[in-house]
Structures are given as structure tokens and as C-alpha cells.
């Protein structure tokens, strides 16, 4: 029955219901069930054979967590956490029940909003107009065209685009921090100059998003700002059950 | 059967959750990990991240930026377009801007292709993390350079 192990999606307070219509990882999607007999419950399913980070399963994981977080506080698991069997899930929950409950209480009605700043793809004219270094290298290319000069120019453009996006992100960070209960830097994403998550009460997430959008509109020539959420609190589950990210991967 | 089901499940979440690409690193690198449980190997995704890094920092990317920069220059010198006009949206039709967009999007494309987040071609994408698309782009750039 559990030959591939038990896939763990989330830990929720006991008594919370499974979201209707949600299905788990695997093909066909594995039915969800609850595991645990204490004051916290795990949402689990059978793990599929040869689980990998494929689109279908990533989306199933995310979808289950989004639906769960609509219903109340959730401790989201990282993608791909598999327990050997249901008994080990129940034992873990029993052993760490107090910490899990404390984290659930701390999150309360909080949701995660993730804000990214990427180099503004349409801002080359602004970069040429405003970046002295780029202008100088561009003139050098004009005077003495060549491979090396072009590489230097292109590198300066790439650097300037990233720096401008990071600066816009940091300005935005100062505006958003007072609106959030907690702030957590996101993992490094290549090509992304700024990546930060904010813990915001669900009732305030619309206002938060509106603030981000307003800033994004006003800084289009410096950064492409993206906001995602409300999300399950992936970045705010720093209980002792969480291994430091740096030690992983 | 599966593609239809994905569409049904994903559409309600899309406006608030962004694309899968936008939150991929949170799903993969954040969230709880419980010591006594194991975690699936993510070899495909890790290879992909390395690919993305190579593309971003590559000479080809720089040359594409430089080419775009030089084209912008030519347009301005021709007297038909000034920098303020470019800023005002005239650039939207220009070759230069398209070149920059292509260069700047290369990372996103690579990551997006891993999860197929941008497309409607749902299920076939599953195997795409294994394909290394950077070499193809490199080849194209080399050809462009050779022509120049």
C-alpha cells in the first residue's frame, strides 16, 4: 500500500477539513487523506513512483496548499517530502505538536506575498540616457568597433539593468516593510535582481498588492516588478522542523 | 485526460498566485522539511538552474545587448527618433528593443521551459527539464557573429 512512501503536503490544525475537489501528486492524482491523531494533522497521499519535480506534480502540490490555506492556517511542506509510512508521520506530529501549534498560531490569518524585481526589458533607451558608463562604452564602440568593445558594452548594459532593478526593489522593500508582519528574503533566482516575501494578513493582501502595482507602474523604466500571492506561508515556517535552507540542495 | 484537468484546477489560482514560474523557487526551496522524512531528488531542476546561470553571464548575452544598444544608436543618429521619443514608447516597434527583450528573457525562458508555465502545451513539457536549450542559442549567436 505504501511501497513508495507517504507524500506530505502540509500540517494543519486537527479538525480542519480537506478541501473539496483537491487531488494530490501522481498520475492519476492520488486521493488526499489526513494523518495523525493529536491536535495537529498532516495532509498526505500515497507518493507516486519516481516522483520528480515535474510541472504536473509541482502544480498539484501548490494547488493543494492554496486550497488548504483558503480554509485557515497551514504549515506548507517543501515540494517532495516523503515519509516512509503513515506511522512515522503520526509519530513526528506527536513529537513536535507543541511547536507546530505555536507556528500555526503565529501565522494565524497570515498569507505570503512574494515580490520580485527583474531587469526592465524595455528600458534600454533609459539605460543609455541615464547610465554614464554605458554611454561612454557605447561611444567607444562607435569610435573603435570590435568584439571586445561590444562585449564590454553589453556587459555594462546587463550590469546596469540588474542594478537598476535591485535599486528599485530595495526602495520598494522600505515601502512594504511597514505593511507586513514579517519579511523574508527569497532564494536566489537567476535573472531576478530582487526577491523578497512578506507575511501579510489576508484581509490586507489586496491593499498590499495595490501598493506594489502602483510602485511598479511608476518605475517601469527601472524594473519589472511582479507580485505573487496570497500564497501559503512557504517562507515563514521557521519552526524547528525546518532545516536551514543553506544546508540543503 | 490530464491537460483538461490541469486547466480546471489552475485557472482559479492564476490571478493571485502568478504563474508557476513566479513561485517555483518557493515551492522548491522554502516550506518545511522534516528531518526524519526524505526529500525527492531534484536533479533535473538543479541542472536547469546552472544552465540559466550560464546563459545570463554569457558573452552571447552581452553581444546581444551591445547589438541592441548599437541599433538604438543608429536609429537616433538617423534623426528619426530621439531618446525621449524612445522612452515614450517609440522604441516598442524598434528592432533594438526586441533584441534586448530576447536577451533579457533568456533566463525566464529557460526556467519557464522547465515547468512549461508559459504555455498551453501542458503534458509534453514534463520531459523538457532534461533538454538543454542553451547550446542551441549559442549556436544561433555564433552564426550571427560569423555573419557580422
Q: Is A191 helix (H, G, I), strand (E, B) or coil?
A: coil
Whether A108 contacts A179, CB under 8 Å:
no
- Domain assignment of residue A32, yes or no: yes
Residue A94 and residue A195 in one domain: no
Q: Which residues of B touch A221 (CB under 8 A)?
A: 87
Residue A148 and residue A197 in one domain: yes
Q: Which helix or strand (DSSP H or E) is residue B66 part of?
A: helix B59-77
A79, A101, A123 - which closes a domain: A101
- Domain assignment of residue A20, yes or no: yes
Q: Which residue segment(s) compose the domain that A50 sits in?
A: 6-101
pLDDT for A244: 39
A101, A128, A143 - which closes a domain: A101
- Domain assignment of residue A241, yes or no: no
Position B36 confidence tier, pLDDT thresholds 50, 70, 90: confident
pLDDT for B125: 41
How many independent structural domains does chain A possess? 2
- Domain assignment of residue A211, yes or no: yes
The per-residue pLDDT of chain B, averaged, comes to 54
Residue A118 and residue A73 in one domain: no
- Domain assignment of residue A243, yes or no: no
For chain A, where are the E strands, in sequence order?
6-13, 33-35, 40-46, 75-76, 81-83, 110-119, 182-185, 194-201, 223-231
ipTM rounded to 2 decimals: 0.85
A64-113 pLDDT tens trace: 999 999 999 999 999 999 999 999 999 999 999 999 999 999 999 999 99
Residue A115 and residue A232 in one domain: yes
Q: What is the mean pLDDT of residues A124-138?
A: 93
Residue A88 and residue A150 in one domain: no
pLDDT for B123: 41
Residue A205 and residue A148 in one domain: yes
A41, A72, A101 - which closes a domain: A101
B contact residues 13-32, partner A, Cβ 8 Å cutoff: 13, 16-18, 20, 22-32
- Give which of A123, A139, A119 is closest to A225, Cα–Cα: A119
Query: For residue B74, is pLDDT > 60?
Result: no
Q: Does B121 touch chain A (CB under 8 A)?
A: no
Q: What is the mean pLDDT of residues B117-146?
A: 42
Q: Which residues of B touch A191 (CB under 8 A)?
A: 52, 56, 104, 106-108, 111
Higher pLDDT, B95 or A101: A101
The DSSP output letter for B34 is -
**Cα gap B62→B111, rounded to integer Å:** 20
Contact A235 B26 (CB under 8 A): yes
pLDDT for B142: 43
Crossing angle (nearest 10°) for helices B134-147 and B43-56: 20
Considering only CB atoms, B26 lies closest to which of A75, A154, A186, namely A186
pLDDT for A171: 97
Contact B97 A243 (CB under 8 A): no
**Cα gap B26→B121, rounded to integer Å:** 23
Amino acid at each position: 500500500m505504501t511501497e513508495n512512501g507517504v507524500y506530505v503536503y502540509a500540517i494543519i490544525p486537527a479538525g480542519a477539513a480537506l478541501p473539496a475537489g483537491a487531488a494530490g501528486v501522481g498520475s492519476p492524482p492520488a486521493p488526499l487523506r489526513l494523518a495523525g491523531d493529536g491536535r495537529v494533522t498532516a495532509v498526505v497521499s500515497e507518493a507516486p513512483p519516481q516522483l520528480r519535480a515535474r510541472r504536473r506534480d509541482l502544480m498539484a502540490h501548490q494547488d493543494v496548499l492554496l486550497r488548504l490555506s483558503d480554509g485557515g492556517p497551514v504549515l506548507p511542506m517543501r515540494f517532495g517530502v516523503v515519509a516512509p509510512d503513515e506511522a512515522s508521520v503520526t509519530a513526528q506530529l506527536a513529537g513536535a505538536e507543541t511547536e507546530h501549534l505555536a507556528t500555526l498560531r503565529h501565522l494565524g490569518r497570515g498569507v505570503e506575498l512574494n515580490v520580485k524585481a527583474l531587469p526592465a526589458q524595455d528600458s534600454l533607451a533609459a539605460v543609455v540616457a541615464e547610465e554614464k558608463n554605458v554611454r561612454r562604452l557605447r561611444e567607444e564602440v562607435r569610435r573603435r568597433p570590435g568584439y571586445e568593445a561590444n562585449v564590454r558594452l553589453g556587459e555594462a548594459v546587463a550590469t546596469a539593468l540588474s542594478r537598476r532593478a535591485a535599486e528599485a526593489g530595495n526602495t520598494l522593500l522600505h515601502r512594504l516593510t511597514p505593511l507586513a508582519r514579517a519579511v523574508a528574503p527569497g532564494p536566489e533566482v537567476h535573472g531576478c535582481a530582487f526577491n523578497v516575501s512578506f507575511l501579510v494578513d489576508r484581509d490586507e493582501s489586496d491593499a498590499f498588492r495595490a501598493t506594489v502595482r502602483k510602485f511598479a507602474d511608476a518605475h517601469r523604466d527601472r524594473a519589472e516588478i511582479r507580485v505573487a500571492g496570497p500564497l501559503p506561508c512557504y517562507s515563514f515556517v521557521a519552526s524547528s522542523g525546518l532545516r536551514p535552507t543553506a544546508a540543503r540542495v | 485526460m490530464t491537460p483538461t484537468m490541469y486547466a480546471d484546477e489552475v485557472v482559479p489560482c492564476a490571478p493571485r498566485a502568478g504563474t508557476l514560474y513566479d513561485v517555483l523557487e518557493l515551492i522548491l526551496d522554502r516550506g518545511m522539511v522534516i528531518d526524519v522524512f526524505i526529500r525527492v531528488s531534484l536533479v533535473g531542476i538543479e541542472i536547469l538552474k546552472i544552465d540559466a546561470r550560464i546563459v545570463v553571464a554569457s558573452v552571447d548575452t552581452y553581444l546581444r545587448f551591445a547589438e541592441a544598444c548599437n541599433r538604438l544608436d543608429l536609429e537616433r543618429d538617423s534623426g528619426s527618433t530621439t531618446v525621449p521619443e524612445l522612452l515614450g514608447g517609440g522604441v516598442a516597434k524598434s528592432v533594438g528593443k526586441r533584441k534586448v527583450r530576447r536577451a533579457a528573457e533568456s533566463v525566464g525562458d529557460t526556467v519557464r521551459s522547465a515547468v512549461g508555465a508559459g504555455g498551453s502545451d501542458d503534458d509534453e513539457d514534463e520531459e523538457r527539464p532534461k533538454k538543454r536549450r542553451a547550446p542551441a542559442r549559442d549556436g544561433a549567436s555564433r552564426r550571427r557573429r560569423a555573419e557580422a
